[in-house]
A = this chain, B = another copy of it.
Amino acid sequence: MHALQDLYPDDFSHCYGCGRLNAHGLHVKSEWHDGESIARFTPRAEHIALPGFVYGGLLASLVDCHAMATAAAASMAAAGQTPGVDQTPRFVTASLNVDYLRPTPLGPELELRARAIDIGPKKVIVETTLSANGAVSVKGRVVAVRMPETMRATPSA
The answer to whether B51 touches A157 (Cβ under 8 A) is no
A93 (CB) vs chain B CBs: closest residue: B56
Complex Cα gap A50–B146 (Å): 13
A: interface residue count bin:
35 or more
The answer to whether B95 touches A99 (Cβ under 8 A) is yes
A77 in the interface (beta carbon within 8 A): no
Picked from B25, B56, B105, the residue with its CB within 8 Å of the CB of A46 is: B25
Instruction: Write out the residue numbers on chain B whose beta carbons fall within 8 Å of the beta carbon of A155.
Output: 52-53, 103, 105
Instruction: Write out the residue numbers on chain B whose beta carbons fall within 8 Å of the beta carbon of A93.
Output: 56, 100
The answer to whether B16 touches A51 (Cβ under 8 A) is no
Stretch at the interface among A29-37, A57-65, A114-122: A57-65
Q: Which residues of A contact B (CB under 8 A)?
A: 11-12, 14-17, 19, 22-25, 44, 46-53, 55-58, 60-62, 64-65, 90, 92-100, 103, 105-108, 147, 150-151, 153-155, 157
